């Protein structure tokens, strides 16, 4: 089991993150050497009634589902029913790309098709929040294909040339899986992946979710700003086929731990092989540079993101967010360690929290983790500042991981983002306008190493931190 000292540090990190981010609930599981060494729930899976979260609570895992879709495709590759370099139009009606440079199955799986997201697959999420504007037909699979095939004007980059994160390409993969197997996508995933991994409660079905035998399931919350602060709006999960392949799976961290163990064993769970290692290895081969990650050069693979510079070991990860639920899973294959966390709202810091937990599990100091170090510095400079005699006031705060400032002078105030010019020297700036003579404003923070006193210069002013 997990070391008690490390467990205490992990739980402290989780509680602090929930409080700072105003997250109702979070569940987490940690695996190491084929065993679950820690699993727990924090907070309320439903605020009404204050129902507690546990490691068995079901949540929508969002885009973490993409790795299941990729695994399904590789199973079919192993069965010689499909090839990664086959053009998409070999299997379905698909009119984008060219004969000389076709879009392939590999391109769909790695967000390297060159096509931007066309917003069809996430339509079901938008409809949970507001009446969609503009309105366009998106109900049947024919509607979806017509929508995609009309997007010739969006095809600007050659396949493999540009990374465009694209949920719709994974929905195309759903259609391809259904065409090849002759069964609904969700049925294939259940039969070939979920049931062999003892993930019996995991589902795409609203009916199965509603009738969960443990009755341990999340209520989703959309976070919306209101006049009196953050407003938590109860929101039902969008059970819709459009979302299935790119972000529609419901699962719990205790069942997802089975999935992580399978990944760490290259497709084997409790002696059951769901895919051969030769074909499993394709999942983690790098395809294209991705902006999603904290390393020097994150790479998107097939439904997974890879970084090779996390404390000199490989980090494989992916997250998911539906707005009313989120998840994040990370693996250190060389160390046989995995972490999965799930929440009942959009948890922006799940990646950072997971990296902090992995750092502790590796026996490292959190200050050695760059993202933790930067967060700690930013948190230290947040607060309220006064100029001489309190004539002008400056408030600095973090919102969604971004730094904002508000200057108040008499009855007027102005809020603005602060962009880093030189993080090491704590130099930030308000964006300069493209037109006009306004030079913008530069802010530089000075932190005393002895007293931790913080000052900031802003144009002609000197501000002192008062709290």
132, pLDDT greater than 80: no
Evaluate if residue 283 carries a pLDDT over 90: yes
Q: Give strand pairing partners of 28.
A: 40, 341
Burial of 328 (0-12, 13-18, 19+ CB in 10 A): buried
Question: How far is 341 from 28, CA to CA, in rounded Å?
Answer: 4
User: Can you tell me the mean pLDDT for 213-239?
Assistant: 86
pLDDT of residue 227: 63
- Which tokens belong to 444? 């530089």
| 66-78 vs 167-181: helix crossing angle, rounded to 10 | 40
Q: Is the pLDDT of residue 180 over 80?
A: yes
**Mean pLDDT rounded to a whole number for the chain:** 92
pLDDT score recorded for residue 373? 84
| Residue among 117, 224, 131 nearest 167 (CA) | 117
pLDDT of the residue at 224: 74
Q: Is the pLDDT of residue 193 over 90?
A: yes
Rounded to an integer, what distance in angstroms lies between the CA atom of residue 14 and that of residue 7?
Answer: 11
Q: Is residue 169 very low, low, confident or very high in pLDDT (cuts 50, 70, 90)?
A: very high
pLDDT value of residue 40? 98
Q: How far apart are CA 87 and CA 384, in angstroms?
A: 57
| Span 281-306, average pLDDT | 96
> Is 80 exceeded by the pLDDT of residue 72?
yes
Domains, the chain, with CATH or none: 4-365 (3.40.710.10), 382-465 (2.40.128.210)
- Residue 158: DSSP 8-state: P
Beta bridge pairs of residue 305:
300, 317
What is the residue-wise DSSP string for 52-98? EP-TT-BEE-GGGGHHHHHHHHHHHHHTTS--TTSBGGGTS----S-
pLDDT score of 294 = 87
pLDDT value at 188 more than 90: yes
The pLDDT, as a whole number, for residue 22 is 87
Nearest CA to 261 out of 272, 251, 250, 247 is that of 272
* Alpha-helix residue ranges (DSSP H) falling in 216-349: 241-247, 253-264, 277-280
Confidence category of residue 155, pLDDT binned at 50, 70, 90: confident
N-to-C CA span, the chain: 41
Q: How many other C-beta atoms can be found within 10 angstroms of the C-beta atom of residue 178? A: 20
Look at residues 332, 80, 132, 86 and name the one whose alpha carbon lies nearest to residue 238.
132
- For 178, left (φ over 0), alpha (ψ -120 to 50), or beta? alpha
- What secondary structure does DSSP assign to 318-345, as a single string? EEEE-SS-EEEEEEEGGGTEEEEEEESS
Most confident of 33-37, 126-130, 446-450: 33-37
How would residue 467 be classed by pLDDT, with cut points 50, 70 and 90?
A: confident
The pLDDT assigned to 231 comes to: 80
Q: Residue 38 is inside which H or E element, if any?
A: strand 35-46
Q: Is the peptide bond before 50 cis (omega within 30 degrees of 0)?
A: no
pLDDT of residue 438: 60
Residue 372: CB partners within 8 Å, gap ≥ 6?
352, 355, 356, 359, 366
**Segment 230-236 mean pLDDT:** 85
User: Per-residue pLDDT tens for 336-376?
Assistant: 999 999 999 998 889 999 999 999 999 999 988 888 888 88
**What is the share, in percent, of the chain residues with pLDDT greater than 90?**
77
Q: What is the structure's pLDDT at 38?
A: 98
Nearest CA to 457 out of 421, 428, 433, 431 is that of 428
Closest by alpha carbon to 164, among 17, 297, 292, 69?
A: 292
- Per-residue pLDDT at 142 exceeds 90: yes
Average pLDDT over residues 134-140: 74
Would you give the DSSP letter of residue 164? -
**Could you please report the per-residue DSSP string of 376-388?**
HHHHHH-EEEE-G
27 neighbors 40 (Cβ within 8 angstroms):
yes
Rounded Cα gap, residues 146 and 73, in angstroms? 23
Q: Helix 350-361 to helix 370-381 angle, to the nearest 10 degrees?
A: 120
| Span 404-425, pLDDT tens digits | 999 998 888 889 999 999 999 9
220-253: b (≥16 Cβ within 10 Å) or e:
bbbbeeeeeeeebeebebbbbbbbbbbbbbbbbb
Average pLDDT over residues 107-113: 98
């Amino acid at each position: 089991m997990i070391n008690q000292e490390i467990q205490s540090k992990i739980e402290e990190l989780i509680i602090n993150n929930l409080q700072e981010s105003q997250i109702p609930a979070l569940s987490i599981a940690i695996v190491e050497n084929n065993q679950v060494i820690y699993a727990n729930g924090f907070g309320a899976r439903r605020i009404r009634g204050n129902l507690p979260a546990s490691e068995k609570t079901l949540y929508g895992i969002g885009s973490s589902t993409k790795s299941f879709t990729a695994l399904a495709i590789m199973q079919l590759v192993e069965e010689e029913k499909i090839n990664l370099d086959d053009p998409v139009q070999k299997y379905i009606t698909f009119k984008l790309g060219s004969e000389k440079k076709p879009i392939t199955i590999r391109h769909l799986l790695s967000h390297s098709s060159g096509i931007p997201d066309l917003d069809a697959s996430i339509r079901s999420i938008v409809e949970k929040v507001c009446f969609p504007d503009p309105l366009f037909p998106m109900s049947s699979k024919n509607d979806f294909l017509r929508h995609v095939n009309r997007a010739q004007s969006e095809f600007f980059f050659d396949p493999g040339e540009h990374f465009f994160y694209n949920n719709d390409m994974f929905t195309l993969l759903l259609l391809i899986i259904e065409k090849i197997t002759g069964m609904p996508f969700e049925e294939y995933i259940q039969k070939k992946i979920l049931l062999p991994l003892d993930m019996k409660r995991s589902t795409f079905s609203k009916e199965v979710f509603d009738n969960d035998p443990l009755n341990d399931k999340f209520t989703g919350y959309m976070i919306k700003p209101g006049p009196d602060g953050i407003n938590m709006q109860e929101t039902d999960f969008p059970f819709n086929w459009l979302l299935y392949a790119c972000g529609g799976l419901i699962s719990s961290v205790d069942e997802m731990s089975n999935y992580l163990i399978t990944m760490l064993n290259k497709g084997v769970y409790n002696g059951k092989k769901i895919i051969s290692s030769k074909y499993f290895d394709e999942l983690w081969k790098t395809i294209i540079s991705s902006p999603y990650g904290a390393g020097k050069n994150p790479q998107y693979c097939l439904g997974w993101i890879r970084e090779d510079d996390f404390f000199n070991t490989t980090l494989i990860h992916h997250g998911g967010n539906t707005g009313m639920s989120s998840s994040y899973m990370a693996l250190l294959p060389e160390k046989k360690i995995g972490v999965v966390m799930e929440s009942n709202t959009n948890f922006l810091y799940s990646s950072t929290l997971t990296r902090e937990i992995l750092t502790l599990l590796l026996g490292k100091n959190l200050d050695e983790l760059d993202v933790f170090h930067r967060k700690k510095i930013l948190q230290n400079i947040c607060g309220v500042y006064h100029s001489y005699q309190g004539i002008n006031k400056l408030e600095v705060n973090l919102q969604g991981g971004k730094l904002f400032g508000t200057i108040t002078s008499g009855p007027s105030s102005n809020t603005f983002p602060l962009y880093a010019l030189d993080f090491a020297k704590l130099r930030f700036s308000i964006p300069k306008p493209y037109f006009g003579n306004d030079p913008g404003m530069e802010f530089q923070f000075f932190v005393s190493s002895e007293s931790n006193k913080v000052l900031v210069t802003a144009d002609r002013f000197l501000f002192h931190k008062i709290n």
